[in-house]
Amino acid sequence: MIRILSSIFILNLASAFCSGQDTDPLKYVNPFIGTDRMGHTYPGASVPFGMVQLSPDTDTLPYEVNGSYNRDVYKYCAGYQYADSTIVGFSHTHFSGTGHSDLGDILLMPTTGALQFNPGTSDAPEKGYRSLFSHTQEKASPGYYSVLLKDHDILAELTATTRTGVHRYTFNKGGEAHIILDMAHGIYNDADKNVWTFIRVENDTLITGYRQTSGWARTRTLYFAIAFSGPFTSYGFRDDSPARVYRGFWRRFDQKTNFPEAAGRNIRGHFDFPATPGEQITVRVALSPVSTAGAVANMISEAPRSDFDASRKQAEEMWRSELGKVSVTMMNEGQMTSFYTSLYHTFLSPTIYMDSDGSYRGLDQNIHKAEDFTNYTTFSLWDTYRALHPLFTILQQRSTSDMVNSMLAHYDQSVHKMLPVWSHHANENWCMIGYHAVPVIADAIVKNVAGFDYTRATEACITTARNGWYDGLNDYMEFGYVPDERTGSSVSVTLEYAYDDWCIAQIAGTEELRREFTDRSRNYLNLWDPATGFMRPRKADGSFRQEFDVLSTHGQGFIEGNAWNYSLYVPHDPDALIKLHGGNKRFTQHLDSLFTMYLPDSFFAETEDITREGIIGNYVHGNEPSHHVPYLYNYAGAPRKTHYCVRHIMDSKYLPAPDGLSGNDDCGQMSAWYIFSALGFYPVAPGSDRYDLGSPLVKEATLSLENGKTFTVSAVNQGPLNLYVKKAELNGTRLDRLYITHAEIMQGGRLVFYMGR
């Protein structure tokens, strides 16, 4: 604990924060946070939950090299690494903070001088169309990004509407200008990832087409329409397909120059303009999951004119409206930046996935029409059910019902009758474990979020949880746990199933169902090994696995969390967990050990994606399974240790700098943890109506709720060292409990924390 305390001093006493904070939340968003190393965020432009994420790609790497997974590819999940010095171009789709990836569709890059058709390499950017850039000539704010492309002396600016990316290129020196359209480009790309690409030059300012890929999403197609503010004077295409493509009677035509149709696996195009010095070209790129006609209609409805400034203003207003839902004052500007950047990151995904007319591509690859809801995709549910979706039940209730309806549509279209596990762009990618659409739905039902059919949603949860073929579920239902022989992550899977099942029990309509799923929710007990005090892999014959390393993750029955971290994953019944550990004192000591134990260097050498910066003792904040753990002290009668830990995590793992995130932001989960914790409460078990109290980081925060009410949190005597909550009052009444309820928030009111040392 000594080590932790010292670091708090260093971090928080370094900068004193003066009053007079600006009221515009946009000023405090720094989209570069998380772009260095592990955060996997992107700095580019999008609007809240936008279908377009228009952002620079500094590099992309193949997913495999010589048939093996390319470990370096991981760096480029969001296409951008802050340490890089070149930009390949600007592509229109990016995940925010994921640890596996896809997308990077429809790359545009403006160039000058001789036409170059290949992207070049970061070592020798001059050999390709990419360009050197410098962070000193780069800006990013919500809905806006700009950079000077040094090799071409072009100022590139980006903004976006929900479905349209808008580029403005200023050709400082003029001359022969090209805009490269690289359909071969993509994130987590392989030579064979592109299944097909298709381009039509509709006229001298409009291009349409699509990119079809098979990657993380197995069968994905994204349609686009590109409108230039002025006519190009010539254009051309090259197809560098690795595989032979039938050419046939097309050979009769010169398809390389000014031929308006191109199709093949890996097409690159160029559009040429004679530019006068200082000339600006605005390019609008609308996307659609449905068709090129849909993309054109989306553009007409959202960005009908080539007016970059208008689109930017609109994007900023959308951000101002969403970020303004929380008005906050904090102790210093860095915290303000961390807070609003976190809030910004929480509102990036899930992403809207439908045309402006409500049409969208379903999981069955058919076109559906969203009736009375907005269809969303990018459900990183193993991550986001924990804090992101609970945050939405407070700040984004309408979107929450849209998201649930989107998950139910997915369920209806699923040939398995499964709710999404990790889904994006009309695909289930099956990433990670569990069926965590269930806690999102249960949480929304328990919290009375309106706008979806509770009965239908509950049925979908139950049907999902009974899919015996899925990842050991048959065995789980038979044995009460997933046997070690079945999967390498049998313990993690069992614990998460148990929690998900508890969620179903909270919403089940009959006593019989409640009993069935309450019984299932106790399955974590079947893996508790009293001899070691950890959850432990168990074989089908009932015996525990003998070889068992509580520090390792891989091959130990866990995933993204070792036995120390994952064994605490009983969010729905901490009291029982504490009993297993022998009571409050023993449990508190166990948590203390977790947060303080010294790990040998070999641990970091063997464990992927974990660095000393990302952990506290053996507690790994960069992965999700123990996000609730700091709040478990509350249950053991040691709330001060909760206060201490959460403040320490906020202070050390969320820094207002490009390398400020200690792990993948995971579609906003890491950021949502911060928002909750900074507000002073956290949803330990989504599916219950409780938020556990921690130690707020805000001085004051006001949540403007969609029901018109406001809920204010204030921290009296807040200060860097006053991290302990002496008492808390709700609406003037002292709280004799360590939680507040969802209803208490939604009815509006005032939560006051009295802080001290």
Residues touching a copy of itself: how many (CB under 8 A)? 53
Question: What residue has token string 């600016």?
Answer: 157
The answer to whether residue 559 forms part of the interface with a copy of itself (CB under 8 A) is no
Residue among 16, 66, 252, 605 that touches a copy of itself (CB under 8 A) = 252
Q: 81-100: which residues touch a copy of itself (CB under 8 A)?
A: 100
Binding mask 462-481 for a copy of itself (x = CB under 8 A): -------x-x----------
Contact status, residue 309 vs residue 282, Cβ threshold 8 Å: no
- 198: contact with a copy of itself by CB under 8 A: yes
Quick one: tokens of 757? 């040392």
The reply to whether 192 sits near a copy of itself by the rule CB under 8 A is: yes
Binding-site member from 70, 146, 214, 463 for a copy of itself (CB under 8 A): 214
DSSP H or E segment with residue 715: strand 710-716
Q: Is 754 exposed, middle or buried (0-12, 13-18, 19+ CB in 10 A)?
A: middle
Given the rule CB under 8 A, which of 215-223, 523-531, 564-572, 651-659 is the region that contacts a copy of itself? Answer: 215-223
Q: Which is nearer to a copy of itself, 296 or 675 (CB)?
A: 296
The C-alpha atoms of residue 49 and residue 399 are separated, in whole angstroms, by 9
Regarding 246 and contact with a copy of itself (CB under 8 A), the answer is yes
Contacts of 29 (CB under 8 A, 6+ apart): 141, 142, 319, 323, 337, 340, 341, 343, 344
C-beta of 64 vs 659, nearer to a copy of itself: 64
Residues in the chain: 757
Shortest Cβ 242–a copy of itself spacing (Å): 8
Strand ranges (DSSP E) for 412-464? 422-424, 427-428
Task: Say whether the peptide bond before residue 600 is cis (omega within 30 degrees of 0).
Answer: no
Q: Which range of residues in 23-31, 332-340, 361-369, 618-626 is near a copy of itself by CB under 8 A?
A: 361-369
Helices (H) and strands (E) in the chain, counts: 20, 39
According to the binding rule CB under 8 A, does residue 515 interact with a copy of itself? no
Of 172-191, binders to a copy of itself (CB under 8 A) are: 190
Nearer to a copy of itself, 204 or 700 (CB): 204
Q: Find the shortest distance in angstroms from Cβ 192 to a copy of itself.
A: 5
* Rounded-to-integer distance, Cα 491 and Cα 483, Å: 8
Q: Applying CB under 8 A, which of residues 196, 232, 319, 481 lies at the interface with a copy of itself?
A: 196
For residues 121 to 140, the per-residue mask of contacts with a copy of itself, x marking binding by CB under 8 A and - elsewhere, is --------------------
> Footprint of a copy of itself on residues 289-308 (CB under 8 A)?
291-293
Q: Within 253-282, which residues bind a copy of itself (CB under 8 A)?
A: 253, 258-261, 263-264
380 interacts with a copy of itself by CB under 8 A: no
3-state secondary structure of 197: strand
Binding string, residues 53-72; x marks residues near a copy of itself by CB under 8 A: ----------xx--x-----
Instruction: Provide CB contacts within 8 A for 459, sequence distance 6+.
Output: none
Q: Is 706 in contact with 744 (CB distance < 8 Å)? A: no
421 or 610: CB nearest a copy of itself: 421
Binder of a copy of itself out of 80, 82, 216, 595 (CB under 8 A):
216
Nearest to 704 by CA among 444, 324, 337: 324
Cα–Cα distance for residue pair 48/318, rounded to 1 Å: 7
Q: d(Cα 334, Cα 609) in Å, to the nearest integer?
A: 26
369 near a copy of itself, judged by CB under 8 A: no
For residues 559 and 715, which CB has a smaller minimum distance to a copy of itself in the complex? Answer: 559
CA–CA gap between residue 106 and residue 308 (Å, rounded)? 19
Closer residue to a copy of itself, CB minimum distance, 260 or 749: 260
Select 334 or 434, whichever has its Cβ closest to a copy of itself.
Answer: 434
Q: Binder to a copy of itself among 153, 176, 202, 307 (CB under 8 A)?
A: 202
Report how far residue 729's alpha carbon sits from residue 752's, in angstroms, rounded to the nearest whole number.
5
- Taking CB under 8 A as the criterion, the residue among 249, 512, 541, 605 binding a copy of itself is 249
Contact yes or no for 590/533 (Cβ under 8 A): yes
Q: In the chain, what's the furthest Cα-to-Cα distance?
A: 84
- Of these, 430, 454, 544, 548, which contacts a copy of itself (CB under 8 A)? 430
Q: Which of 487, 521, 623, 695: binder of a copy of itself (CB under 8 A)?
A: 487
User: Mind giving me the DSSP string for 622-635?
Assistant: SSSTTTTGGGHHHH
The pair of structure tokens assigned to 454 is 């509770």
Nearer of residues 201 and 594 to a copy of itself, judged by Cβ: 201
Distance CA 628, CA 619 (A): 11
| Contact pick of 20, 248, 600, 732 for a copy of itself (by CB under 8 A) | 248
Q: Are strands 710-716 and 749-756 parallel, antiparallel or unpaired?
A: parallel
**Binding residues vs a copy of itself (CB under 8 A):** 63-64, 67, 100, 190, 192-193, 195-196, 198, 200-202, 208, 210, 212, 214-216, 218-219, 243-246, 248-250, 252-253, 258-261, 263-264, 291-293, 364-367, 415-416, 422, 429-432, 469, 471, 487
